[in-house]
Structure 1
């Protein structure tokens, strides 16, 4: 499969939160992100790398996903993306110079994924911080992936694969697709599942580099009375050890350790997985009812 443009990585997720101060405290003191910058009356920028931000918290009346940003390999790839998206009839909007200055980012564009209403951002550069990520609580390696639950699952999966260059690593037919942003090797940087109740966030993942961080996080969350909604366990598709818990607005956050990686050429074919609880957790646990329920997609109409 030829890809229309080349990704570098999942760069950041922008979340709407009902109390920026409360959520900033949670993500710094319990999740372990570093606060890069707080704009009075506006967003808070947090990171788990040398990037200026990997998560942005925006004040809002209701919690949810504002947008998801992917970094491309170069400005040339950004122009390839622009021409390709316009050829599909999508409305492509450049990020203004004023907002790029706020985001500490280079050139970028946004468009609306037509089947979910999700605003997707493609950009080329981000300010690199002089002080390394501190890893005060947890050895977070990266922002791992964002997962959405969507009603038009089949249409969105086909669009992401055929038009946006996402490769399917594994899937549960008609229900779930794990996708990697090529040529990034990680088993999935983005995934979607079928929803029966509107389009919304399923979870945001941070990958850790030490399996002990999963156990320490479980104890840390329990001591702070943070609801744990799934795990610890092991996912069959990626092989990851996982733990899911809720942020102050009830959005689901995951820590995971380990993940299959794919070569750019000669990658295995995607596996068709049985829709069975053991595919979610080979250790046999089940998610609690609050798992993956909160977080509306900030609706933007596709033009």
Structure 2
């Protein structure tokens, strides 16, 4: 088993942003800003818009498309050197890497970076070394979102996909559920998971998570969303793997989003071993809740973005 400081090809900093394709961008803007509390930082430019939930310029990017789903996942690495190491590493593993198009650089508020397509999951990953931190204070009157927490996908090739994400992408396992799921962190980021995969016959987006600062944000969101006619599909409850209190709900395209409070954090040195947890309903909710059938069922994974 690889140790954190020996054998990792490069170091991560955080999950930077998630890009989603949506079928009605105006409805999605209204939902993610008016119901969840993200701030529009980059006003709609044609068929795309950028929203933020923390000190950085971008946490969620929405693109108008015919089919809703996951467009790409962006990680910020620890340094410029790590960005160079990451690109060289992927190229050494025969992945095709392409630079982020110049037309996107200013929109994304980044200095540059590259993209790489992972064929088993179908996900396009983006790697950057920095992102603008705007001076404008966030409006957190609706919800005190702490950060973009994680993104989870569905895959019908869980074992093969995890082998790639571990060996080629350098993610570390935090927990497994028997023949069902793996939660992964991006070292040395301490959070239990920034990326996860769930076994499913229908590959696609599982959900996107936003971590809130207070447990009351979860309760207030539940009531606010119910009053707005938004479907709550799971929770409130508490996950066994991360210890998080959660609430899942559907966006205008039926894709699942999550508010969560609290998460286990791993030390850089001598972290605990990943656990193999029972595949049971109680593992997913220690409070005994059950998800609705619509939970985490919508959202296609888009193909690679060689040109924009």
Give the TM-score normalised by structure 1.
0.97
Greater mean deviation of Cα atoms: 38-47 or 264-273: 38-47
User: Partners in 2 of 1:173 and 1:275 — Cα distance?
Assistant: 5
Q: How does 1:1-303 map to 2 (within 5 A)?
A: 1=2, 2-197=7-202, 199-300=203-304
Gaps (5+ residues) in structure 2? Answer: none
State the aligned residue count.
301
Q: How far off its partner does 1:4 sit?
A: 0.6
Q: Which runs of 5+ in 1 are unaligned?
A: none
Whether the 8 Å CA contact 2:179–2:279 is kept in 1: the answer is no
Query: After TM superposition, what 4+ stretches of structure 1 lie above 3 angstroms from structure 2?
Result: none
- Distance in 1 between residues matched to 2:176 and 2:295, nearest whole Å: 20
State the TM-score, normalized to the length of structure 2: 0.96
Alignment deviations for residues 14-37 of structure 1 (CA, whole Å, 9 cap, x no partner): 000001111001111100000012
CA RMSD in angstroms, aligned pairs only: 1.2
Shift in Å, 1:114: 2.0
- Displacement of 1:110 in angstroms is 0.3
SS of the aligned residue for 1:238 comes to coil
Bigger Cα displacement from structure 2, 121-130 vs 93-102: 93-102
Task: Return the alpha-carbon distance in structure 2 between the equivalents of residues 50 and 239 of structure 1.
Answer: 25
Distance 2:104 2:279 in 1: 43
Quote the Cα distance in structure 2 between the aligned partners of 1:221 and 1:71: 31
